[in-house]
Amino acid sequence: MKEIKIAVIGLGYVGLPLARLFSTKFSTVGYDMNQSRVDELMNGHDTTLEVSDELLQEAINKNSFFCTTNLEIIRDCNFYVVAVPTPVDENNRPDLKPLWGASETIGKVISKGDVVVYESTVYPGVTEEECLPVVEQVSGLKFNVDFFAGYSPERINPGDKLHTVEKIKKVTSGSTPEIADLVDSVYNAVLINGTHKAPSIKVAEASKIIENSQRDVNIAFMNELAKIFNAMGIDTHDAIEAASSKWNFIKLSPGLVGGHCISVDPYYLIQKAQVYGVLPRIMSNARRLNDGMGEYVANQTIKLMNKKGVMVKDAKILLLGITFKENCPDIRNTKIVDIYTTLSEYTHNITIFDPWANTERVKKEYGIEIFNGQMQQLEGQFDTVILCVAHKQFEGQNIREFLKDSSVGVVYDVKGVLDRDLIDGRL
């Protein structure tokens, strides 16, 4: 094959870090339909904070990487990588519209001999049954005759500065043995820890679903334990700490399962399993349990307020954090909104403070106004405080200073990170 020229379709949390990394070895173009996103990146800043300004500007200045909304610019590429979202609809059914759109985009520019690799998380079969027929139809080319395909599931962990994209071991696959080798070699050229070459595209697709579904089920077990032990008056974290003294215990903590991966991807396999006549009870139950934890946290907090004589109706409540995880601006599918919604049935005096979240994006996505001032301005104002996200800005903070009356008010710790002397309850 001729010299590799890469186009990455979709410049979000997955696509941008990957495109920047590819640009260290290959001529790379990032394509996105959002002009403001492209302008932001070409000005040397990534608002997702996944790629540092220094690395981004270095790639752009070396002329090995640039971003565009112009489809014609990626026409001379020959290795296309799709990194678009794979959401679910309001009924938790897979929404393949972004993938279909990206496949149509590629169909308009792909040429004979080119390769398209999908990274978006899907159920087994989506690449070959849903995406490639669109490429064929739009391009007029025949799959595995005129163009070829691969699948390499993304393993980006938003906000994680330890397991960055270049350090992640990637699963790769191809539509023929030769293309599998080619895809594997392209990824190996930029990865420190190499790859695992799967025997087929469907196996590679299945591997990604397993990763996220397993974690979802494991966290659901911890959340179920938390509900049981809270009812029994046992501190769940103490019990987990004791159990983890055994060498083969898998130590996890209860918590809210949000974001665009663990809380979404299992639905893809759940839906596909039912097509084959299999009812995935464990996965389905895990999803229901984890999806209900925001409401559970709110109700536990209300119970504590009642016990301490704090009037719930019209109470002033502070939620610390709204992003789906700590030290990350990602608000996609955050379960903090479920806490907010449940508490809103009793009071509209709810303030959310999050130094990482973009106030405009929160307003647009959820219709919620969040506090945009300094944290110190919030001291001494609230009846109840819930630590929702363990941002580094909250470390070492005396959370009770936000209460009107430190001796009466309620502090609830969702993350289990606060000093036990400062809290009234935790998940």
* Active site residue ranges: 261
End-to-end CA distance of the chain: 55
**How far apart, in whole angstroms, are the C-alpha atoms of residue 158 and residue 330?**
7
Q: Is 269 exposed, middle or buried (0-12, 13-18, 19+ CB in 10 A)?
A: buried
Contact in structure between 378 and 403 (CB atoms under 8 Å): no
**How far apart, in whole angstroms, are the C-alpha atoms of residue 141 and residue 69?**
24
Token readout for 202 is 């469907």
- Tell me, what DSSP letter sits at residue 333? T
Alpha carbon 186 to its chain centroid, in Å, reads: 25
Classify the C-alpha dihedral 304-306-307-310 as positive or negative: positive
Q: Residue 299: how many CB atoms within 10 A of its CB?
A: 14
Cα dihedral 185, 190, 192, 198, rounded to 10, equals -40
**How far apart, in whole angstroms, are the C-alpha atoms of residue 151 and residue 157?**
19
Q: Is residue 426 classed as helix, strand or coil in its secondary structure?
A: strand
**How far apart, in whole angstroms, are the C-alpha atoms of residue 106 and residue 128?**
15
| Geometric angle at alpha carbon 271, from 160 and 183, rounded to 5° | 50
